[in-house]
């Protein structure tokens, strides 16, 4: 899995076609979390799976050229900061933590809650996608020199 492209023509062609659809499905699951089964965690795992499929079929180096580890670590922290940040901004405007009704947007309370929950789910999805992909990159890169106990970017 390190330098050579190992898989056959069939696997490469099919995954080239399917990976965008998997990502679209992942985004669908994240955003429709409130009216059908799904939500941030599940959609994030699906998005992460698409990148892992790319990493299995093509080599790990090609994956690292597509999405570098720096971007993934940045997304991981950014997703979590979106979640806590929305909660903390509610406190700044006089409400309790995660009280979505107090945000300064001119919407009524149930719609405000729905919008905030959507933003929070997107944050969670971003974080989970990055975490699953980083786990794969660190564990699979053992033989070719991405050592697990060094913070090389």
Partner 1 sequence: MRRVELEWIVGRYNYLIFIALALIGFYAMIAKKNLIKKIIGMNIFQTAIFLFYISMADIEGRKAPILVPGVEEYVNPLPHVLILTAIVVCVSTTAVALSLIVKIYQKFGSIEEDEIMEMMK
Partner 2 sequence: MNIIQNLPILVVIVPLIASFCMPIIGLFRRRYCFYLTLITNFLILIFAMLLLNYVINQGEIHYYLGNWEPPYGIEYVIDHLSAFMIILISFIAFIMTIYSKEDVENELPTNAPLFYTLFMLLTASLLGIVSTGDLFNLYVFLEIASLSAYTLVAVGKKKDALIGSFNYLIMGTLGACFILIGIGFLYLVTGSLNMADIALRLPSLYSSHVVHAAAIFFVVGLSIKIALFPLHVWLPDAHAHAPSTISVFLSGLVLKVGAYAMIRVLFDIFTVEFFVNTLPIAEVLSWMAAIAIIAGSINAIAQKDIKRMLAYSSVSQMGYIALGIGLANTPGIMGSLLHILNHAFMKGCLFSAAGAIIHKYKIRNVHQFKGLGKKMPYTMAAFSIAAISMVGAPPFGAFFSKLFLALGAIESGKWIFALIILISSLLNAAYFFSILERAYFTKLHDEEIEEAPISMVLPTFILAMGCIAFGVFMFILEPFLRDIATSLL
Residues contributing to the site for partner 2 (CB under 8 A) = 70, 73-74, 76-78, 80-81, 84-85, 87-88, 91-101, 149-151, 153
Q: What is the residue-wise DSSP string for 3-42?
A: SS--S-HHHHHHHHHHHHHHHHHHHHHHHTTTTSS--HHH
Given partner 1, partner 2, none, residue 70, with its beta carbon under 5 to 8 Å by kind, binds: partner 2
User: CB of residue 1 vs partner 2: minimum separation in angstroms?
Assistant: 25
> Which residues from 18-77 bind partner 1, rule CB under 8 A?
35-37, 39, 41
Nearest-angstrom CA–CA distance, 18 and 21: 5
Decide: is 94 part of the binding site for partner 1 (CB under 8 A): no
Residue 136's region, left for phi above 0, alpha for psi from -120 to 50, else beta, is: alpha
User: CB of residue 97 vs partner 2: minimum separation in angstroms?
Assistant: 5
Instruction: State phi, psi for 33 to the nearest 5 degrees.
Output: -70, -20
Residue ranges that bind partner 1, judged by CB under 8 A? 35-37, 39, 41, 135, 138-139, 142, 148-149
């Amino acid at each position: 899995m390190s330098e050579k492209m190992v898989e056959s023509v069939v696997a490469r062609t099919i995954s080239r076609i399917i990976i965008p659809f998997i990502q679209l499905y992942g985004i669908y699951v994240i955003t429709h979390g409130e009216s059908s089964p799904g939500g941030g965690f599940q959609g994030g795992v699906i998005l992460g799976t698409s990148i892992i499929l790319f990493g299995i079929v093509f080599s790990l180096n090609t994956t690292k050229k597509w999405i570098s580890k720096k971007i993934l670590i940045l997304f991981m922290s950014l997703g979590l900061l979106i979640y806590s940040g929305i909660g903390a901004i509610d406190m700044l405007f006089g409400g309790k933590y995660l009280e979505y009704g107090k945000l300064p947007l001119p919407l009524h309370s149930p719609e405000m809650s729905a919008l905030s929950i959507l933003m929070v789910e997107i944050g969670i999805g971003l974080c989970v996608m990055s975490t699953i992909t980083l786990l794969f990159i660190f564990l699979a890169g053992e033989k070719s020199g991405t050592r697990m106990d060094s913070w090389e970017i």
